[in-house]
Amino acid sequence: MASSSKPTPLLKDELDIVIPTIRNLDFLEMWRPFFEQYHLIIVQDGDPSKVIKVPEGFDYELYNRNDINRILGPKASCISFKDSACRCFGYMVSKKKYIYTIDDDCFVAKDPTGHEINALEQHIKNLLSPSTPFFFNTLYDPYREGTDFVRGYPFSLREGVPTAVSHGLWLNIPDYDAPTQLVKPHERNTRFVDAVMTIPKGTLFPMCGMNLAFNRELIGPAMYFGLMGDGQPIGRYDDMWAGWCIKVICDHLGYGVKTGLPYIWHSKASNPFVNLKKEYKGIFWQEEIIPFFQAATLSKDCTSVQKCYIELSKQVKEKLGTIDPYFVKLADAMVTWVEAWDEINNTVSEEITSTKASEVAATK
């Protein structure tokens, strides 16, 4: 008699899927073949009294705003409200090595041959193979099957570096800002580019959080989606803020960031007029924010992600605080985030540890 057991997927016990939502998660039905054996962390945004329905058969834990306040106490102020940036709370409470995060309007895409794309499996392959941030390979990811390093690629760099982030893309509705949405309301992305590439060291990118995976142990404490949404002067910059921060830190610590495959099917376009209201300050501010990150450097003392993030927060307060008081508040929230991360994960950053050790030594 044939066995009915399902094959164990890659990293089944080492990866959590984080989903921010305000609605019932019916979209999981189409992802069932790919997600059902993994653990889900659902972060409910908005009204905590609303009941979110999850299809049967999924292993999950669900957190609403009341849970966030209860678990973090005063430090809950660093978690955004009424914004998908709340997803980073799921990163914090996860106990797994890897995270995949996806939006609830993202469906299973098909490749040009008509086969459904297992986005999670491709992200895992990206994360488990090295990156090449120090020298660009013109055949893109040399670790994929059927390709390699091209002639002239330094042999000393072919070992690569650990991959911290895998940034996936989208078919159908592209991730455009409000002005582009308004002038191209009917534009759809139909181009499937079968490529994965490492973003070079020193190059920033606009990270999108709706199809994203990362190594939580390598970069987790820096994957903070900032202060957005309710009570804040800006929205829809949460993932990009995190992307700019993690890229500076990955460059400093010698980790890689990949972009390209896998694709998901982004099913619906958000309202461009609502988006413009959220984005308009950011559209002006980014012309100063991006040069700030392009010029940002971290000291040799920054040997951990936490130390890097704390130092970066100080630079944000000093150099971006002159643009708007919001950045002073954001810099403080970055520190609160790291403190909360360490408390929740029962770890203490090296900086705090060394300080306490010095205090103990001084009393002897």
* Angle, vertex CA 70, rays to CA 65 and CA 73, nearest 5: 105
Bridge partners of 172, per DSSP, are 189, 266
Give the list of residues 6+ apart from residue 38 with CB closer than 8 angstroms, or none: 9, 12, 15, 16, 17, 59, 120
Read off the amino acid at residue 195.
A
The predicted pLDDT at position 346 comes to: 83
Give the list of residues 6+ apart from residue 347 with CB closer than 8 angstroms, or none: none
CA atoms within 13 A on the CB side of 78: 24
The predicted pLDDT at position 359 comes to: 40
Q: What separation in angstroms does the CA of 182 have from each of 70, 179, 233, 345?
A: 41, 5, 21, 43
Phi and psi at residue 363, in whole multiples of 5°? -90, -10
The token pair at 348 is 């203490």
The predicted pLDDT at position 347 comes to: 58
Burial track 340-356 (b if 16+ CB lie within 10 A, e otherwise):
bbbebeeeebebeeeee
The predicted pLDDT at position 183 comes to: 97
Pairing of strands 163-172, 211-215: antiparallel
The predicted pLDDT at position 10 comes to: 95
Sign of CA pseudo-dihedral 261, 267, 272, 277: negative
The token pair at 360 is 């103990």
For residue 321, with 0-12 CB atoms within 10 Å meaning exposed, 13-18 middle and 19 or more buried, which class applies?
A: middle
pTM: 0.93
Helix (H) or strand (E) run with residue 362 in it: helix 350-363
Q: 10-residue block means of pLDDT along the chain (364 residues)?
A: 71 98 98 98 97 98 98 98 97 98 98 98 98 98 96 98 98 97 97 98 98 98 97 97 98 98 96 96 98 98 98 98 98 98 76 38 40
Phi and psi at residue 70, in whole multiples of 5°? -65, -40
